[in-house]
Amino acid sequence: MKDRPEEAGTQAEPLGSVARKAPVATLVATFFGVGFLRPASGTWGSLATLPVAWLVARAAGAPGLFLMAALATGAGIPAAGRFAALRRRGDPSQVVIDEVAGQTVTLCVVAFALARLHPIALPLSSTFTAFFLFRLFDVWKPGPVRRLEALPGGLGIVADDLLAGLFAGLVAGAGALALPFAR
């Protein structure tokens, strides 16, 4: 859950102070400031991922998306952890690198599922389906997805979105293969 205090009664560190103390972590965790957009910063983070992922898929296909997800995860875990610790929040709403990683996982699974039909680019219909399904799984947080939030620091912030992305990708990929109009 976003913006839960680490400890009851703690005051959140002002955003400006966090950005001065950890500018690189702030830039990565907020996906270059997208996390400051309101309302629904997670949705903005997922939306901002789409054009970047589409270009990556166009240039490098599913393997490129896999690399993008790995980079977002590898950079996102420590950045999210640092930002959250400085902010004194368990999962600050400004942190959206987890949505970037999870949304990219969803698109990666769909791209691998459709690789024979669309070896390079993701069809727009599949891209938007993947977006909506990822947001659904990220907000809903079924069973094991919710449990991953309990992991410490940045790992807990990012891991639940990765699993939500995998679930959404499996549903979106299966749907795209089963329904010709979804390709």
Task: Note the pLDDT tens digit of each residue in 11-35.
Answer: 889 999 999 999 999 999 999 999 9
Average pLDDT across the chain, whole number: 92
* pTM (two decimals): 0.92
What's the CA angle centered on 85, arms 2 and 140, to 5 degrees?
20
Counting residues of the chain whose pLDDT is more than 90, the rounded percentage is 82
pLDDT at 34: 98
- Per-residue pLDDT at 146 exceeds 80: yes
- The domain locations on the chain are 15-182
User: Rounded distance, CA 112 to CA 84, Å?
Assistant: 33
Q: Is 146 left (phi over 0), alpha (psi -120 to 50) or beta?
A: alpha
pLDDT at 2: 63
Q: What is the mean pLDDT of residues 67-87?
A: 98
b/e 22-40 (16+ beta carbons within 10 angstroms → b): beebbbbbbbeebbebeee
User: Which residue type does 112 have?
Assistant: F
Residue 76 and residue 165 in contact, taking contact as beta carbons nearer than 8 Å: no
User: Rounded distance, CA 68 to CA 88, Å?
Assistant: 28
**What's the distance, Cα to Cα, between the start and end of the chain in Å?**
33
